[in-house]
Structure 1
Amino acid sequence: MKISFSASKQIRPLLHIPSTCTQLLRHGPPKEKVVVVMGATGAGKSRLSIDLATSFSAEIINSDKMQVYQGLEIATNKITDEELRGVPHHLLGVIDPESDFSAANFRAMASISLQSILSRRQLPIIVGGSNSFVEALVDVNFQSRYDCCFLWVDVAMPVLHSFVSDRVDKMVERGMVDEVRAFFRSDADYSRGIRRAIGVPELDEFFRVESSCDEETRARVLAEAIDAIKMNTSRLACRQLEKIHRLRNIRDWRMHRLDATEVFRKRSGEAEAAWESMVARTAEAVVSRFLYDSEPAVYGCVMAMRSGARPLMAATAS
């Protein structure tokens, strides 16, 4: 008997991939979330970052080019231990005051801090007035890896200039002159390190003549130095605002503007209430939407947030 065997055609089962999974594969895994708080000097960036960090599970990366240095806590308006409210800070008062710290240095160190914060499942909040540092960090490659929420604390310039002037007077009362005197050198290079900070070059002439002139001259030179500090701080605020407008209008950074002008026009309890209602709560709502405003999509045993939110990060904001 002749037996004929016919080769059977192997049929592979079709692998069905839900459209939602196809979308996830196409776009890749959700990006990690990063909040960036910007604004001119004195606008309330540090205060807002602390408010957010205590409302969400967050740590803060300082991006102020003078506050990264050790020393001159008053002159650089460094946040106090009490104001920190236990929130972990990175790159705050850690660099030798005699060394230079460039935007490239910041980018390298901030990237390390960023990964450290994310590894603990915390929200990184980058805050500071040095927009050149922020721009160096948040380049195209950065935004391809991270989802950024930009918060801009804005105050009308005439109002902010008045506040800055009053703040300088308070810094002098707190001992800024004696603090800066400790950094005075007759051969100092004011283009390097912490001596670039506003308040240090302006007081140079006063320190040179204070021991060799009469009281009237000494008071006049000091007053001129303080006026110069106020003027240069106001000029810094204008430059910072111009840079923010450039980043928003030319670099196309999508920013959530928080107008804090009315806060600065009020006093005591009214100012506190205005900050809470106009700035803090609004910012918390923006960040909450940024992190959580979507339903989780479940793919088998894998859960991803359609907005890219990280489900293990718990929010405590009301």
Structure 2
Amino acid sequence: MSERVINVTNAKQKLLAVIGPTAVGKTAMSIALAKRMDGEIISGDSMQVYKGMDIGTAKIKKTEMDGIPHYMLDIKDPSEDFSAAEFQELARGCIQEISAKGKLPIIAGGTGLYIQSVLYDYEFTETASDEVFRRQKEEDLQRFGEAFLHEELTLKDPVSAARIHPNNVRRVIRALEIFHCTGSTMTEFLEKQKKVLQYDAALIGLTADRELLYERINKRVDHMMEEGLLDEVSRLYESGLKGVQSIQAIGYKELYRYLDGTVPLQEAVQELKQNSRRYAKRQLTWFRNKMDVEWFDMTPPVNTAEKEAEIFTYAAGKLKL
């Protein structure tokens, strides 16, 4: 396998994607496939890029990597923004780098838009700009405040508004500017684009019985708390980090409410579990509706070794390895 040479100029590069909802087993499966297929792994999680946000993002530990190189981890400070457009650029660079070594790039994660942006020929609206409009919004900010601008975004682009903290005024204004310039939200803009795969790709989806998955999620949250999630979030809170993109991640925003004195700790943990379950449901809906995925059921009493072999056989055949 290591002697395989990929022509990165005249042929589509080969790429394996391992996707699915949180807590379904993507990390373990991606490592098993990387060992079988001489691969290296790119994290497809929008929050694992942040340094110091390890427990809450279920970031893989060095000891768990089993010698497999991982990319797109710990590349941003929690104070920095990160977008699907930036992820697309960086991840494609990683794919190029891994392919040039004769290895198989494997992107593993659950952030649908980010993974989709890499796989397909999406063009983002970074060029959509109107300086006059932007200055007008900055004046509105001074006159009426952050809540006013965020409410305007909620009316025009509720999906972005739900994702962007009202205090993150730069991103609020940018989302309003995109809508002003294109007449579409970011999601609508991407939906209008033709989906042309940029790689010779095999898309592996892992799923499981929903009730079992929810039970796993609840247990994972309990384990995170035992591992020190509250201490991890407290360090970020005490550093003065507020109103930024990273803190809107599930596992952090809920415990921030506790640290703010808004809710008791037990209630914050229950919110964390509920939000994680809802996120898993949204992930499954996204992948099923928007991507051509071959699904594999991981519901116990599944034989993990047999399932791994089944997935390997499918992926190797699909990629003609």
- TM-score computed with the length of structure 1 as normaliser: 0.71
Q: Does 1:129 align with 2:110?
A: yes
Q: Which structure: greater helix fraction?
A: 2
Q: Does 1:193 align with 2:245?
A: yes
1:223 matched to which residue of 2?
266
Q: Does 1:242 align with 2:285?
A: yes
Counterpart amino acid of residue 282 in structure 1:
E
Q: Does 1:166 align with 2:166?
A: no
- Superposed, 1:18-167 pairs within 5 Å as 30-140=11-121, 143=196, 145-167=198-220
Question: 2: CA distance between counterparts of 1:178 and 1:185?
Answer: 10
Counterpart amino acid of residue 46 in structure 2:
K
Q: 2:310 aligns with which of 263, 282, 299?
A: 282
1:260 matched to which residue of 2?
298
Q: Is the 8 A contact 2:119 2:197 kept in 1?
A: no
1:300 matched to which residue of 2?
none
Counterpart amino acid of residue 229 in structure 1:
L
SS of 2:290's equivalent in the other structure is: helix
1:206 matched to which residue of 2?
258
What RMSD over aligned residues (CA atoms) do the two structures have, in Å? 2.2
SS of 2:237's equivalent in the other structure is: coil
Deviation of 1:188 after TM superposition, in Å, equals 4.8
Q: Is the 8 A contact 2:43 2:73 kept in 1?
A: yes
Deviation of 1:187 after TM superposition, in Å, equals 6.7
> Based on CA coordinates, which of the two structures has the bigger radius of gyration?
1
Structure 2 gap segments, 5+ residues each:
1-8, 123-194
Question: 2: CA distance between counterparts of 1:50 and 1:166?
Answer: 22
Counterpart amino acid of residue 162 in structure 1:
E
Question: 1: CA distance between counterparts of 2:69 and 2:90?
Answer: 16
Identity %: 32
Q: In the superposition, relative to structure 1, how do residues 181 and 41 fare at CA in structure 2: closer, same or farther (>3 Å)? A: same
1:217 matched to which residue of 2?
none
SS of 1:152's equivalent in the other structure is: strand
Counterpart amino acid of residue 235 in structure 1:
R
Q: Is the 8 A contact 2:119 2:199 kept in 1?
A: no
Structure 1 gap segments, 5+ residues each:
1-27, 211-219, 264-270, 293-308, 310-318
For this pair of structures, how many residues does the alignment match? 241
Residues 3-40 of structure 1: CA deviation (Å, up to 9, x unaligned): xxxxxxxxxxxxxxxxxxxxxxxxx9543211011100
Deviation of 1:209 after TM superposition, in Å, equals 3.6
Residues 275-316 of structure 1: CA deviation (Å, up to 9, x unaligned): 2223x1111111221233xxxxxxxxxxxxxxxx5xxxxxxx
1:19 matched to which residue of 2?
none
Counterpart amino acid of residue 48 in structure 1:
M
Question: 2: CA distance between counterparts of 1:206 and 1:118?
Answer: 45
Deviation of 1:163 after TM superposition, in Å, equals 0.7
Counterpart amino acid of residue 115 in structure 1:
Q
Q: Is the 8 A contact 2:56 2:251 kept in 1?
A: yes
Question: 2: CA distance between counterparts of 1:55 and 1:135?
Answer: 25
- TM-score computed with the length of structure 2 as normaliser: 0.70
